[in-house]
Amino acid sequence: MILTVTLNPALDVTYGVGALIPGSTHRIRDVGVRAGGKGINVARVLAGFALPVRATGFLGGVTSDQITALLGQSTVEVCFVPIAAETRRTVVVSDGVAATGFWEPGPAVSAGEWRAFVAGYPGLLDGVEVVVLAGSLPPGVPDDAYAGLTTTARSAGARVILDTAGPALRAGLRAGPEVVKPNRGELEEVTGQAAPTPRQALGAARLLRNDTGTAVVATLGGDGLIASTMDGDWRAALPAALPGNPTGAGDACVAALAAGLLRARPWSELLADAVAWSAAAATAPTAGTVDPGCAHRLRPSVVVAAI
Amino acid sequence: MILTVTLNPALDVTYGVGALIPGSTHRIRDVGVRAGGKGINVARVLAGFALPVRATGFLGGVTSDQITALLGQSTVEVCFVPIAAETRRTVVVSDGVAATGFWEPGPAVSAGEWRAFVAGYPGLLDGVEVVVLAGSLPPGVPDDAYAGLTTTARSAGARVILDTAGPALRAGLRAGPEVVKPNRGELEEVTGQAAPTPRQALGAARLLRNDTGTAVVATLGGDGLIASTMDGDWRAALPAALPGNPTGAGDACVAALAAGLLRARPWSELLADAVAWSAAAATAPTAGTVDPGCAHRLRPSVVVAAI
């Protein structure tokens, strides 16, 4: 079983428009709604691959009902902790070429709500082999939240993947998650190293792994990914970048990492899966979805090189 | 008592941004939410003037709960008919200069839901002297909906103000509402006459009144309004147009017309109120709100001229 934690989920709303014209009014014909937030996205991808997955985090207000109903259409086991404030929405306006996003602020979580989450969390680890801690922290949740959740998961024998940024990433790393998955910007931010090329990104990843003992898998968009692990360093990519929508590719990568840890796959196999799942997400007609058949077809093309 | 009918209400959401940049992601700090739709806006303005008002229409889904809760903060008596589909939202992105709107489509109303509304409507007319029928019709509601609701209201002894456009306006006019309130574009569309100046707008309004027997009050933005009635024709305006946000000015005008009919005010007084309430809406810091004190201060400046 994989447990994904999404402390700051969102209802992701997509508006399709012919063209976005600032200052004018757009009548929307197509409204897409999806349960969102990194951990929820990871859970949905895993469920699409028929893997057992449980999702937790905070949900509040009417958006909570919508997200719960949407997740109810999948096989994801839904175990969220209620909060009084309203879960945020994100609105993306898509004209078929560019996506313009509007991110509402996360709802405030009270000290009591955070305590309730921490109290219930060990129970959710029952039967869990891999924990995914993903996304930003809402107001009211302490910066070291992921550190505590990592420590508890490790004590329960689970392996932890952390995908976040800034202070939450730095604090979380101190508790020794098994893998972190920064993107290029997050890797640069946490290491203070510029990483414009895969070679420089690998240098930064090595630095981070040496400092922390945590394997680093960094997603580099069309450049694929690089990994620095205890078992070696790799670069994995398709021979040529596929055009597409990068939204959700990072979450698909995390899902593949979680699936690989669950199945105890060797790094080279696991990283090839990660590239294939990410590329399938990037080329999907609906942002953030992964067609397992597409990932399966792309998989043999992925080149994994030990460095 | 005034009854407002909003068959296609909305939750109006406002996102404040520093600048709207297509293709980029905006982190929103200020999220405003308001119960919306023309009839609901009219009801809220009337409640702000301490006038007795009841609001009806259709509400569905989680947005229904949000709108009901927001209206619960006012003195509006809330009597909506539930529908299975989700009530729409509108999103307006405001950078302090321009407003960029995204209008979700209205929810589908089933034949049974429309029958339920029609069956309950006479009961809502109890004690009602003025009925405001306002806004667009959602999918599933017939074009002649406002005609039937006008006939029923008139039979119950109520006076009817109709504020809509297109086929719903044309069909509604056949049932003889007492007043219609088109804006310039709606007046041009329903009469087929260009009305770029107040004089031409008055010509079109006279044509429409002669054809239908309904008084026509047309709002012309900064040009104030013109009216063609059985008791004469008027132009009413402030000496100089005030800068501001026109959103909600038309609804404030309808609210003033409803208040004037309720109090049996003479047209010249009623039209002066309508200009003052509209101008107060246009200059309000929050779009669509009307400060009675502001309307009261503007009122003596309004110039009403019989034509």
SS3 assignment for B275-293: HHHHHHHHCCCCCCCCCHH
Q: What is the DSSP string of A286-305?
A: STT---HHHHHHHGGG-EEE
User: Smallest CA–CA separation between B123 and chain A, in Å?
Assistant: 31
Cβ(A255)–Cβ(A290) under 8 Å? yes
| Residue of A14, A20, A26, A28 best to disrupt the B interface, most CBs of B under 10 A | A28
Tell me which chain A residues have a C-beta less than 8 angstroms from the C-beta of B102: 15, 17, 25-26, 28, 91, 93
- Write out the H or E segment, with its range, that includes residue B250: helix B249-262
| Chain A residues touching B26 at Cβ < 8 A | 100-103
Task: Tell me, yes or no, if A30 is annotated catalytic.
Answer: no
Residue B72 at interface with chain A, using a CB cutoff of 8 Å: no
Contact status, residue B182 vs residue B260, Cβ threshold 8 Å: no
Residue A252: enclosing H or E segment and its boundaries?
A: helix A249-262
CB contact under 8 A, B25 and A98: no
Handedness of CA B31, B292, B153, B165 (dihedral sign): negative
* B221-239 pLDDT tens trace: 889 999 999 999 999 999 9
In degrees and rounded to multiples of 5, residue B3 shows phi and psi of -110, 125
A46 touches A259 (CB < 8 A) = yes
Question: Measuring CA to CA, which residue among B6, B250, B294 is closest to residue B145?
Answer: B6
Q: Mean pLDDT, chain A, as a whole number?
A: 95
Amino acid at A59: L
Inter-chain residue contact B105 with A29, CB threshold 8 Å: yes
Q: What is the pLDDT of residues A116-128, one digit of tens each?
A: 999 999 999 999 9
Q: What pLDDT does B36 receive?
A: 95
Question: Global pTM?
Answer: 0.87
Name the one residue in this structure whose structure tokens are 């729409």: B88
- The predicted pLDDT at position B98 comes to 85
The candidate with the shortest Cα–Cα distance to B203, out of B275, B307, B304, is B307
Contact yes or no for A17 and B91 at CB 8 A? no
Residue of B nearest to A86 (CA): B66
Per DSSP, the three-state class of A67 is helix
pLDDT reported for residue A278:
95
- Residue B291: both structure tokens together: 């400060």
B305 touches chain A (CB under 8 A): no
Gap from A154 CA to chain B (nearest CA, Å): 34
- Reported ipTM: 0.85
* pLDDT surpasses 90 at A107: yes
For B99, the enclosing helix (H) or strand (E) is strand B99-103
Cβ of residue B285 closer than 8 Å to a chain A Cβ = no
Task: Inform me whether the C-beta atom of residue A123 falls under 8 Å from chain B C-beta atoms.
Answer: no
Tokens of A278: 């990410």
Is B102 in Cβ contact with A26 (below 8 Å)?
yes
Determine the straight-line distance between the first and last CA of chain A, rounded to whole angstroms: 32
Is A101 in CB contact (< 8 Å) with chain B?
yes
Is A27 within 8 Å of chain B by CB?
yes
Residue-wise pLDDT tens digits, B32-70: 999 999 999 999 999 999 999 999 999 999 899 999 999
Of B181, B149, B198, give the one whose Cα is nearest residue B256.
Answer: B181
Structure confidence at residue A98 as a pLDDT band (50, 70, 90): confident
Round the CA-based radius of gyration of chain A to a whole number and report it. Answer: 19
End-to-end C-alpha distance for chain B, whole angstroms: 32
Q: What is the tens place of the pLDDT at every residue in B119-177? A: 999 999 999 999 999 999 999 999 999 999 999 999 999 999 999 999 999 999 999 99
Gyration radius (Cα) of chain B, Å: 19
pLDDT tens-digit map of B250-305: 999 999 999 999 999 999 999 999 999 999 998 887 767 899 999 999 999 999 99
Q: What does the pLDDT average to over A160-169?
A: 97
Cβ-nearest to A65 among B17, B62, B101: B62
Chain B residue numbers touching A32 (CB-CB < 8 A): none
Q: Check if A96 contacts B (Cβ < 8 Å).
A: no
